[in-house]
Amino acid sequence: MSNPLRIAVAGLGTVGAGTISILQRHRDMIAQRAGRDVTIVAASARDLTKKRDIDLSGIDIVNDAVSLATRSDVDVVVEVIGGHEGAAKTLVESALRAGKHVVTANKALIAHHGVMLAKLSEIHGVTLAFEAAVAGGIPVIAALRSGLAANRIEKISGILNGTCNYILSRMYHEQLEQGVVMADAAKLGYLEADPSLDIDGIDAAHKIAILASLAFGTQVDVAGVKATGIRSITLRDVRYADAFGYRIKLLGVAEFHDGTLIQSVHPALVAKALPLASVDSSFNAVQIEGDSVGRVMFEGRGAGAGPTGSAVVADIIALARGDRYPAFTVPTASLIASSAGDVHAQRACFYLRLSLKDEPGVLAEFTRVFAEEDISVRAITQRDIAEDASAQVVVLTHVTTSGQIARAHQKIAGLAVCVAPPVLMQMEG
């Protein structure tokens, strides 16, 4: 075998420890598949005294992550610190400038600075790899880069945040309110340190922006993602959706047509007959539609030491073999600076739950709004009376535009008969 590939791991948290554990447990198998040994030379951690459930003997442990970038005994820097600024960004930039390959699981870093970092990797003749940045152990980036390379990708959609899927799944199966499940998710370590990254769709927005760039050859545009999270979803919505034959899922969706990129993250009612509806717990799923292959779906665990560490090590093995490729499939100079599409032009059916005063004339008040916006209604049903004595009315629409339903939503929210903000979701299938 040739000389070993020498690794430095920045960050000994869940993913860093998982990566080291896999490299140690499967050392012989990895060497066989990579064609050379993979050796962990150094690692960094903020707390050098903390006891960890991995063998760190023979590894030089330092508390300055950035110092790993310039070590002469390191070929590949693995960044699993997290965050799109600060030490993570400085380390990755420094490593690329020093001519070292970089493997990262940092979706925020790639979403915000990926094109700049990819350009640096090209200038210095090294590889920037980030399979672990999207959907944990699911090899969706590799699929877009190679397995589906013969296809013009038409659409990407999926469940990209395991925490939200865990919350919505338990609400459905155990009939629990969101707050109860969120508290459990926090105890289990599923929630980000800042829960809004999960609950408000920011984490999923990072991931769909990365996937869109890889699929369509566009520059990463995380600012162009219209993100709506699951904060407004209640057990009542979960029950109503179930009665209509749907499950509620937080979806990331990206489409590219005629130079226009439309990206969104939103809760949706997904028909139970569709494969995405059955993806439960903290699992992720990504659905890709290509012009030649049709629709394919990848499902698996989207986070955790094992799944994410698996993706990190897959990138390390590819580097050990000598695989070299542009970070976003094509050179950065070829990435298209797309214009952000108008999400309000998208057409779909919608679910709208209204909390209304239980009094005569209410029906006429909100149906007038639908008439003004030229929205055709498929069904109106009063489900029950809420604890605040408001009538819970559900409206299902025929196909309309996002713009029309958004205007109707705003108008209804301003009506005197509306006692709480209406809950609006797109319907899939």
207 is known as an active-site residue:
yes
Angle at which helix 235-244 crosses helix 162-174, to 10 degrees, equals 70
Segment 107-110 long-range contacts (CB within 8 Å, at least 24 positions apart): 107/133, 107/134, 107/203, 107/206, 107/207, 107/210, 108/82, 108/83, 108/84, 108/206, 109/79, 109/83, 109/84, 109/133, 110/206, 110/210, 110/220
Q: What is the 3-state secondary structure (H, E, C) of the chain?
A: CEEEEEEEEECCCHHHHHHHHHHHHCHHHHHHHHCEEEEEEEEECCCCCCCCCCCCCCCEEECCHHHHHHCCCCCEEEECCCCCCHHHHHHHHHHHHCCCEEEECCHHHHHHHHHHHHHHHHHCCCCEECHHHCCCCCCHHHHHHHHCCCCCEEEEEEECCHHHHHHHHHHHHHCCCHHHHHHHHHHCCCCCCCCHHHHCCHHHHHHHHHHHHHHHCECCCHHHEEECCCCCCCHHHHHHHHHHCEEEEEEEEEEEECCEEEEEEEEEEEECCCHHHHCCCCEEEEEEEECCCEEEEEEEECCCHHHHHHHHHHHHHHHHHCCCCCCECECHHHCECCEECCHHHCEEEEEEEEEECCCCCHHHHHHHHHHHCCCCEEEEEEEEECCCCCEEEEEEECCEEHHHHHHHHHHHHCCCCEEEEEEEEEEEC
Give the pair of three-digit tokens for residue 373. Answer: 């916006």
Catalytic residue among 207, 226, 249, 272: 207
> Which residue, chain included where needed, has tokens 């991931």?
207
Burial of 294 per CB tally in 10 Å (0-12, 13-18, 19+) = exposed
**Residues annotated catalytic, as ranges:** 207
